[in-house]
Amino acid sequence: MNKHRKIFIAGHRGMVGGAIKRHLEKIGYANLLVRTSGELDLRNQELVYDFFASERPDVVIDAAARVGGILANNDFPYQFLMENMQIQNNLIDASLRHDVDKFIFLGSSCIYPKFAPQPLKEEYLLTDSLEPTNEWYAIAKITGVKACQAIRKQFGKDYVSLMPTNLYGTHDNFDLQTSHVLPAMIRKFHEAKENGDLPVTLWGSGTPMREFLFVDDLAEAVTFALDNTLPEHLYNVGTGEDLTIRELAETIQAVVGHQGEIVWDSSKPDGTPRKLMDISKMHALGWKHNVLLKEGIEKTYTWFLKNQDGYKEVKL
C-alpha cells in the first residue's frame, strides 16, 4: 500500500479506531483522514455522501460502531441494531459510489451462532441462532459482512471483513453501564482495593470461556489487511487461546493488587458458554498476535490509572 494514499478511518476516537490511527502513523502512513462524530454524523446518509464526494478517500477502515456489553445491548436493542446499520451502510455504499479501492470492515465474534462448534470458523456464519443478549448488534454486523461480500462478488472490489474476538486495551471504556467485561473488572477491582479491599461482585457463574485480544494487535491485523490483498471476504482475528471468566477475574485481581473476596452473582446471565475463534486462515497468511493477556492487562491498568479521573466513582 502506498503510504501517501488517502485513508479514511471511521471511528478514530474509539479504542479500536484510535489504535489503528496510532499504528498507521507510527509506521509512516502520511495521509490519514478523520472526523469526529460532531464533525460528521455517520448515521446521516446525506452528510456521509457529501463527505465522500468532497474528500474522495482511496481506502476506508470502518471502526465506527455503537458498542457495549450485555447490559447495554439488553437495554437499547433498537439503537444497537439501527445505528450500527446506518453507520456501516452509509460508509459501504458511499465507498462503492465513489470508487473506493479498499474497504476494511470491522465486526465482532458475536456474529457467530451461540452454540456453534468451537473454535469458531468463518463458515459457521448464519448456520444457527444467535446469542439473545447481543443479537441486535450481531445482526447489524452480519449485514455489514454480507454487504462487503456482495460488493466483492458483484463489483470485484477488495472489500474485506475482519472479525476480532473480545478486545481490550488502552483507551478502553470503563463506564460500568456500557463497558465490556475486562475493563469493567479492572475498574471494579481497583475501586474495591481503594476502598479497603471490599468484596467485588461479578455477573454470572464465572464458568463461560472467553478469548481476549489486545487492541494494538488488532491494529496490526488491520495494517496486514491494508498491505495485502486477502483472498477471501471474511477473516477471524484473535489469539486462538481462551480462559474462564473466573480465571480472567483472578488474573485482573492479581494485576490490580486487590486482596478482597470475589462474589459471583449466578442470578445474572452468563451469555454464550464459549467463544473461541479459529484463526487458522489469518495465521496461514502470515499474521499472528504479539501481546500476551497478562502483559496486555498490565498495560491497560497502567493507562486506566493515568486516566481514571474521567470516570465517576462507582457504588460498590
Task: Please state the residue numbers annotated as binding site for substrate.
Answer: 188, 203, 210, 270
DSSP string covering 213-256 = EEHHHHHHHHHHHHHS--SSSEEEES-S--EEHHHHHHHHHHHH
Residues in binding site for NADP(+)? 11-17, 106-109, 141, 164-167, 180
Q: Which three cell numbers stand for residue 3?
A: 503510504
Residues 76 and 88: beta-carbon distance below 8 Å: no
Q: How many residues does the chain have?
A: 316
137 noted as active-site residue: yes
All 3 cell numbers of residue 264?
A: 459471583
C-alpha 35, offset from chain centre: 19
Active site residue: 49, 112, 124, 137, which one? 137
| Per-residue DSSP letter, 268 | S
Per DSSP (E only), the strands in 96-168 are 102-106, 158-164, 166-168
Nearest CA to 202 out of 181, 174, 222 is that of 181
By annotation, the residues acting in catalysis are 137
